[in-house]
């Protein structure tokens, strides 16, 4: 299953119309089942599906510890993930769902309930990242996205240290890229609390809450944050950087970490 499809289109350029082959991004419906109960169908890109299923279930609160997962089967042909955990570990959430639809690539979740479980980042655990490190990371990040380069229709997300990108994931949907990163990091026992998230997409409150949940202290986006995400970042001591483009960027929280 490929993430792109090669089809014939008409390309218009300065009054000239020519028939050409072009790449389109594939929209792949992917259904996640937990103990045979259907949880959700995501429209996704058909790569890193195991990470997507685990990351989604974890970051949406359906599973509490990744070690609770007894088995996971991916049926690529039928677009299904079958995830099994001990029945006693099934959370109330799995049995009764409240539907909140968010502003971006979207999941059913209740943002405000999520706040109860979150602790602010302790300032001494924060990462003292420098402006030139951000510029350098974003440069590497932007050059990693093959799917975007091919189709112009993909989002990407990365987990990084101050100096290097550790994991990179792409998807048609902004939130899927993040869930793929979370799933992949969980499977590989990566510690989140000294890492940085990079994202191509806008930062909504939902994204911020997911990051807070795994204690990632810094998020950097090429794009814009919303007012709620900035409010949450300030309450939770998460360093939030937006519009990171070359030597330019906006800093929305933890001002005291930067010299100005």
Between 127 and 173, CB nearer to its own copies: 173
CB 126 within 8 A of CB 239: yes
Give the residue with the Cβ less far from its own copies, 204 or 215: 204
Among candidate residues 138, 163, 146, the one with its CA nearest the CA of residue 244:
138
CB of 158 to its own copies, least distance (A): 19
User: Residue 62 has which token pair?
Assistant: 């359906």
Positive or negative torsion for Cα 242, 163, 167, 194: negative
Helix (H) / strand (E) element for 245: namely strand 239-245
- Catalog residues that contact its own copies under the rule CB under 8 A: 5, 7, 9-15, 17-19, 22, 24-27, 29, 40-44, 97, 99-108, 111, 131, 151-153, 172-173, 176, 202, 204-206, 223-230, 243, 247-252, 255, 258-260
Name the residue nearer to its own copies (CB basis): 25 or 218.
25
Report how far apart the first and last C-alpha atoms of the chain are (Å, whole number).
49
Per the document, the length of the chain is 260
Residue 39 C-beta: closest distance to its own copies, Å: 8
Closest CB to its own copies among 22 and 166?
22
Q: Is 24 helix (H, G, I), strand (E, B) or coil?
A: strand
Closest approach, Cβ 192 to its own copies, in A, equals 24
Please report which helix (H) or strand (E) contains residue 109, including its range.
none
Least Å distance, CB 66 to its own copies, is: 22
Minimum separation from the CB atom of position 258 to its own copies (A): 6
Name which of 61 and 153 has its Cβ closer to its own copies.
153
């Amino acid at each position: 299953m490929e993430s792109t499809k090669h089809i014939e289109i008409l390309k218009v350029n300065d009054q000239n119309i020519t028939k050409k082959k072009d790449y389109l991004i594939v929209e792949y419906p992917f259904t996640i089942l937990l103990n045979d109960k259907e949880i959700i169908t995501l429209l996704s890109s058909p790569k890193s599906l195991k990470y997507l299923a685990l990351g989604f279930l974890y970051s949406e609160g359906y599973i509490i510890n990744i070690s609770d997962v007894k088995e996971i089967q991916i049926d690529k042909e039928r677009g299904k993930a079958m995830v099994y955990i001990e029945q006693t570990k099934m959370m109330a959430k799995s049995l009764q769902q409240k539907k909140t639809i968010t502003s971006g690539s979207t999941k059913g979740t209740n943002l405000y309930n999520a706040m109860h479980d979150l602790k602010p980042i302790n300032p001494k655990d924060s990462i003292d990242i420098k402006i030139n490190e951000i510029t350098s990371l974003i440069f590497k990040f932007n050059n990693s996205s093959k799917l975007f380069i091919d189709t112009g229709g993909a989002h990407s997300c990365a987990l990084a240290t101050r100096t290097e990108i550790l994991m990179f994931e792409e998807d048609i949907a902004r939130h899927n890229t993040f869930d793929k990163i979370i799933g992949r990091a969980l499977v590989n026992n990566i510690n989140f609390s000294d890492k940085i998230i990079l994202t191509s997409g806008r930062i909504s409150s939902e994204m911020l809450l997911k990051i807070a949940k795994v204690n990632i202290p810094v998020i950097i986006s090429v794009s814009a944050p919303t007012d709620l995400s900035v409010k949450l970042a300030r309450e939770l001591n998460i360093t939030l950087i937006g519009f990171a483009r070359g030597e330019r960027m906006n800093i929305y929280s933890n001002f005291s970490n930067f010299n100005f």
